[in-house]
Amino acid sequence: EGHRAGVASVREAVETSARLGLQALTLYAFSVENWKRPRFEVWTLMNLLKEYVRKERQALVDNDIRFNVLGRWRELDPSVVRELEATLEATSGCRGMSFNIALNYSGRCEIVDACRSIVADWAAGKRADIDEETIGRYLYTSGQPDPDLMIRTSGELRVSNFLLWQIAYSEIWVTQTLWPDFRRRDLYEAILEIGRAHV
């Protein structure tokens, strides 16, 4: 039930962010470390993910929201991959907010994957200087702005291996609210609080 309530939080966060005109929203749905959870819990999460992606596909298109998946998501169950691919395809022409969902994701794995891609390109004769701009082009979020704000629910004071490269200069806002209870008012509160800090 907590995970199902979390799906409602996703819907509200996406809708609110799009209405506010944000460029991008990234939600951490399933980490590489989450495979250590009980098998039934993982199975439940994957089924909820498929259900969400299937049900929300048309709403994303109708609201011009481009769907992206960050992480090693092609390693997920083929039935999950099919739903993700269908939504990626359906929203590929959308030009509004980018909605990124991090699945089978790890910030460290992202940096490793970027380095592997750079090495592969070098081997293929596509050489580039190794600098921050180059590495940024090889990250899962290539072409998107770095986050201005990272919201950490549940009162946790760690970044949990999330967007390690991208959050170098992000504001971090911590709330005691658990993710299944996170709603529009919490998002507004975070944005207003960070805004006040910069006035």
- Using one digit for the tens of pLDDT, what is the confidence trace for 59-118? 999 999 999 999 999 999 999 999 999 999 999 999 999 999 999 999 999 999 999 999
Q: What integer pLDDT is reported at residue 1 of this predicted model? A: 73
- What is the pTM assigned to this prediction? 0.92
Query: Which uninterrupted H or E stretch holds 98?
Result: strand 98-105
Considering only CA atoms, which of 56, 71, 69 is closest in space to residue 98?
69
Q: Is the pLDDT of residue 199 over 60?
A: no
**Which residues does 128 contact at the CB level (< 8 Å), separation at least 6?**
118, 121, 134
Q: What integer pLDDT is reported at residue 4 of this predicted model? A: 77
Q: Is the pLDDT of residue 165 over 70?
A: yes
Q: Is the pLDDT of residue 166 over 80?
A: yes
Q: Is the pLDDT of residue 174 over 80?
A: yes
- Using one digit for the tens of pLDDT, what is the confidence trace for 5-37? 888 899 999 999 999 999 999 999 999 999 999
State the Cα–Cα distance between residues 69 and 85, nearest whole angstrom: 9
Mean pLDDT of the chain: 94
C-alpha pair distances (Å), 31 with each of 20, 73, 79, 198:
27, 10, 18, 32
Q: What integer pLDDT is reported at residue 6 of this predicted model? A: 81
The mean per-residue pLDDT over the stretch 156-177 comes to: 96
Q: How confident is the model at residue 198 (pLDDT cuts 50, 70, 90)?
A: low
The percentage of residues in the chain with a pLDDT greater than 70, rounded to a whole number, is 98
Amino acid sitting at position 26: T
Cβ atoms of 69 and 103 closer than 8 Å: yes
Q: Is the pLDDT of residue 42 over 70?
A: yes
| 3-state secondary structure labels for all residues of 102-136 | EEEECHHHHHHHHHHHHHHHHHCCCCCCCCHHHHH
Per DSSP, the three-state class of 31 is strand
| Max CA distance (Å), the chain | 51
